[in-house]
Amino acid sequence: MNWITNVVRPKINSFLRREMPDNKWVKDPESGQMVYLRDLEANQFVVPGSGYHMRMGGEARLKSLFDDGAFTSISFPTVASDPLNFRDEKKYSEKIKQARSKTGRDDAILAGEGTLDGLQVVAAVQDFDFMGGSLGMAAGEAIITAMRRAVKLRAPFIFFVASGGARMQEGVLSLMQMPRTTVAVQELREARLPYIVVLTNPTTGGVTASYAMLGDIHIAEPGAMIGFAGQRVIEQTIREKLPEGFQKSEYLLEHGMVDMVVHRHDLRDTLSKVTRLLMRSPAVESVSQASEDAAAPAVAGAEVIEGAFGAGEEAAAEAEANVETLPEHEEELKAAERAALEPKKAKSKKQKKKSGKSVADAAGEWADDILGDGAAKPSVT
C-alpha cells in the first residue's frame, strides 16, 4: 500500500500535470487577458486586445528606434556604487548587485548612437526594471555623457523616460543629479540641437521635476502616468478629490503639459518626422521622390514637356477665340491706349540718354557697395 501511495501515484500525477513556465505568459493589467510572451514582443509589448502599453526594456527600445535595430552603445564613466554605505532592511550594495544580475546592466540608463531613417541621432532609455529607473549618481553621469555625445556629433537627442524619481539610498548625491542634468540640457540648447522627450509609464518624482520636462518636444505614450507626487498624497494634502484620469497622458495633453500622445506603433515615424523638421533635414518621402524622379527614363520627361506644350496650344486657341469675339469699340480703346503710351516711351529714352553712365563707372559703384570704399576698382576693357 505504501508503495502505491509513495511511488506510483506521484509518477502518475507528474505525467498528467505538466507545469507551464511562469515567464511564457503575461497578464494584461487592465483586461486580465493572458498574452503569449512572444506575441507580446512581436507587437512591441502592446497588448493586442486592449492596446495597453506594457513596459519595454531598454535594449528593445533602442532596437525599435534605430534603422535595422543597429546602434553603437555609449560607454559611461564609473562612479561609486554605494557612496554613503546605506543600509535599511538590506544593504544598498546588495540591492545594486541584484538589480545588475537581473538586468545585465550597471545602472538604469542605456544609450546608443545610430541612424533614424538615415538621420544620425543619439538616444537614451531609462529602464524601470533597474530599481524603478531611479536617478542616482551613475544614472546622472550616464545622462550627461549621452547628451554631450549628441553635442559632439551635432545630432538630436531622444530620451525615453521611465522613473520613480531620485534614488533615496544615495541621499543628497542623487538630488544633485537634477541640476547637473539640467546643465547638460542647456548645453544641448546652446548647441541648437533638438531634445525630444518620450514620457512612458511611469514618469514621476525628481525626474519629472528636472530633465523630463525640459525637452523641446514632449511625446507621451497612451495611458502613461506622469506627475511629481502620487495622486493619494496630493489628495491628502489639498483635501480634495482629484479628477478622473488625473496624471494620465491624455489628461495632461488636454491641459497642455505634453505636446502629443502617440501610439507605440506610430512612435518611430513620429520621431523621424519631428527630428527632421527640427534639424531642417528633407523628409524621407521627398528624398525618395527625388531619387525616383532622377531615375525616371527620358520618355517620362518628354511626356511632361509634351503636356506643357499641349497646354500652351490650348491657351493660344482660347485667346484667338476671345479676340474674334471682341466688341467693336475694343479697337478704339486699344488705339487710345497706344497714343497715351508713346510720349512716355520717348521721355524715358531721353532720360536714359541723359543719365547714362559708362560701364567702368557702374563697375566702380558696384565695388564700393559690395567690397567697401577702399576696395580696388575692377578694370573694364
Does residue 43 sit in the same domain as residue 116? no
Task: State residue 88's pLDDT score.
Answer: 86
- Residue 283: helix, strand or coil by DSSP? coil
Does residue 27 sit in the same domain as residue 167? no
Does residue 276 sit in the same domain as residue 138? yes
In a domain, 85, yes or no: yes
Confidence of residue 29 (pLDDT cuts 50, 70, 90): confident
Confidence of residue 33 (pLDDT cuts 50, 70, 90): confident
Stretch among 79-88, 133-142, 214-223, 363-372 having the lowest mean pLDDT: 363-372
Picking from 268, 289, 310, the residue at the C-terminal end of a domain is 289
In a domain, 76, yes or no: yes
Task: State residue 245's pLDDT score.
Answer: 87
Does residue 72 sit in the same domain as residue 43? no
Confidence of residue 319 (pLDDT cuts 50, 70, 90): very low
CB–CB of 271/65 below 8 Å? yes
Does residue 255 sit in the same domain as residue 272? yes
What secondary structure does DSSP assign to 184-215, as a single string? HHHHHHHTT--EEEEEEEEE-HHHHTTGGG--
**pLDDT, tens only, 292-304:** 554 444 333 334 3
Stretch among 14-18, 39-43, 103-107, 342-346 having the lowest mean pLDDT: 342-346
In a domain, 337, yes or no: no
Average pLDDT estimate for 275-281:
93
Does residue 165 sit in the same domain as residue 238? yes
Measured distance CA(307)–CA(141) in Å, rounded: 62
Does residue 92 sit in the same domain as residue 180? yes
Picking from 53, 75, 95, the residue at the C-terminal end of a domain is 53
| Domain count across the chain | 2
Confidence of residue 362 (pLDDT cuts 50, 70, 90): low
- What CATH number does the domain containing 238 carry? 3.90.226.10
Does residue 36 sit in the same domain as residue 120? no
Domain hosting residue 167, numbered range: 55-289
Task: State residue 180's pLDDT score.
Answer: 96
Sole residue written with cell 527640427 = 278
b/e map 134-166, b = 16+ CB within 10 Å: bbbbbbbbbbbbbbbbbbeeebbbbbbbbbbbb
Does residue 200 sit in the same domain as residue 253? yes
Does residue 36 sit in the same domain as residue 155? no
In a domain, 84, yes or no: yes
Higher pLDDT, 298 or 264: 264
In a domain, 315, yes or no: no
In a domain, 192, yes or no: yes
**pLDDT, tens only, 53-96:** 999 999 999 999 999 999 999 999 999 989 999 988 889 999 99
Does residue 139 sit in the same domain as residue 36? no
In a domain, 297, yes or no: no
Does residue 29 sit in the same domain as residue 43? yes
